[in-house]
């Protein structure tokens, strides 16, 4: 365990700085971890570009990053390779007790609010929030279990059944994981919609039966044509864009489910109320994830879900400027920092 280590802190919107930090000692039930892989998520980009997400705003220099894996440096599990669940729920409130820790009002979350995250060489974290990685999984795959967990939770909300027609609006890493999961769960059609050509191409490689370019809503007519006018049984929005939400509502069949995963830049989600009401749509918002790590590990270890190939760019922590530039410009698919 190093006495000093590098940490990347956000001071204000657009202002990331590399710091030399003094190592703290783990508290009760905590361990120190050497961070080996940390993915840059769309929510990290909201923090970087906007200085916050919705009503959660930057109040002090913050270490971003919640897609993490590393090696335990202290305690009985020293030397163990682990994926790090970024959420620390209170465990006592009614939501935790009911099995919904992702809804805990007092949850601490890595790289959010006043809880430092994983864009640093070392982190101290509760041992119970660490999941052992099989030898067959790389550290990068371990880090990507977190966004895969979000995709799994979204799919749980969608209640997919064999033969359903499904749409994925927005094909960033989570959208591409959703595409794989939908085919794995038996969706007969997976219609992917995306603005960026290289991500749209990737959707086909990851199992989409149809890949449509997002054209300010014009794609809705194409989706209805593909589904012979019936619409989609489930539509999952993962773009963080109100036009994507509108497309999801417009192309969902009567009685369908629409799952909102994306985080909008403006803190409002807008869609045509009359369309959603007359169709009797069920609209659910995906709040992070819960109890997904064991299943995510099984999916990746068995080869049923491919997360490794989503990583198109890897950087050392000292190259953070290039890493964040690549991510904000939406180059490639997934950007990972290896501290």
3-state secondary structure the chain: CCCEEEEEEEEECCEEEEEEEECCCCCCCEEEEEEEEEECCHHHHHHHHHCEECCEECCCCEECCCEEEEEECCCCCCCCEEEECCEECCCCCHHHHCCCHHHCCCCEECCECCECCCCECEEEEEHHHEEECCCCCCHHHHHCHHHHHHHHHHHHHHCCCCCCEEEEECCCHHHHHHHHHHHHCCCCEEEEEECCHHHHHHHHHCCCCEEEECCCCCHHHHHHHHCCCCCEEEEEECCCCHHHHHHHHHHEEEEEEEEECCCCCCCCCCCCHHHHHHHCCEEEECCCCCCCHHHHHHHHHCCCCCCHHHEEEEECHHHHHHHHHHHHCCCCCEEEECC
pLDDT at 217: 85
Please tell me the predicted confidence (pLDDT) of residue 319.
98
Q: In CATH, what number does 151-285 get?
A: 3.40.50.720
Domain ranges of the chain: 4-144+307-337, 151-285
CATH number among 3.40.630.30, 3.40.190.80, 1.10.1740.10, 3.90.180.10, domain 4-144+307-337:
3.90.180.10
The phi-psi region of residue 154 (left if phi > 0; otherwise alpha if psi is between -120 and 50; otherwise beta) is alpha
pLDDT of 103 reads 98
Cα separation, 141 vs 83, whole angstroms: 9
Q: Over its length of 339 residues, how does the chain's per-residue pLDDT go in tens digits? A: 778 999 999 999 999 999 999 998 999 999 999 999 999 999 999 999 999 998 899 999 999 999 999 999 999 999 999 999 999 999 999 999 999 999 999 999 999 999 999 999 999 999 999 999 999 999 999 999 999 999 999 999 999 999 999 999 999 999 999 999 999 999 999 999 999 999 999 999 999 999 999 998 899 999 999 999 999 999 999 999 999 999 999 999 999 999 999 999 889 999 999 999 999 999 999 999 999 999 999 999 999 999 999 999 999 999 999 999 999 999 999 999 999
pTM above 0.75, yes or no: yes
């Amino acid at each position: 365990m190093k006495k000093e280590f590098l940490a990347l802190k956000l001071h204000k919107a657009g202002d990331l700085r590399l710091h030399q930090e003094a190592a703290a000692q783990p508290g009760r039930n905590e361990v120190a971890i050497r961070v080996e892989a940390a993915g840059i998520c769309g929510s990290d980009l909201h923090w970087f570009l906007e200085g916050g997400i919705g009503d959660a705003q930057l109040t002090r220099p913050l270490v971003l990053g919640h897609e993490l894996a590393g090696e335990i440096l202290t305690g009985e599990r020293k030397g163990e390779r682990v994926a790090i669940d970024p959420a620390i729920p209170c465990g006592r409130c009614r939501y935790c007790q009911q099995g919904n820790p992702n809804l805990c009002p007092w949850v601490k979350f890595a790289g959010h609010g006043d809880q430092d995250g994983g864009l640093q060489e070392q982190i101290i974290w509760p041992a119970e929030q660490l999941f052992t990685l099989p030898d067959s999984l790389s550290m990068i795959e371990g880090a990507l279990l977190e966004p895969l967990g979000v995709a799994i939770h979204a799919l749980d909300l969608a209640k997919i059944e064999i033969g359903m027609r499904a749409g994925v609006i927005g094909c960033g890493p989570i959208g591409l994981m959703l595409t794989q999961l939908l085919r794995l769960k038996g969706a007969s059609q997976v219609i992917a919609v995306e603005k960026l050509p290289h991500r749209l191409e990737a959707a086909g490689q990851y199992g989409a039966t149809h890949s449509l370019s997002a054209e300010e809503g014009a794609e809705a007519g194409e989706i209805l044509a593909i589904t012979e006018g019936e619409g989609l049984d489930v539509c999952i929005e993962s773009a963080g864009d109100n036009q994507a939400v509108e497309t999801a509502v417009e192309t969902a069949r009567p009685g369908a489910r629409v799952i909102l995963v994306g985080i909008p830049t403006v803190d409002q989600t807008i869609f045509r109320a009359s369309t959603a009401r007359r169709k009797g749509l069920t609209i659910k918002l995906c709040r992070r994830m819960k109890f997904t790590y064991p299943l995510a590990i099984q999916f990746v270890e068995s080869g049923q879900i491919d997360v490794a190939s989503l990583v198109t760019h890897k950087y050392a922590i000292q190259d953070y400027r290039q890493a964040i530039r690549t991510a904000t410009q939406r180059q490639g698919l997934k950007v990972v920092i290896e501290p």
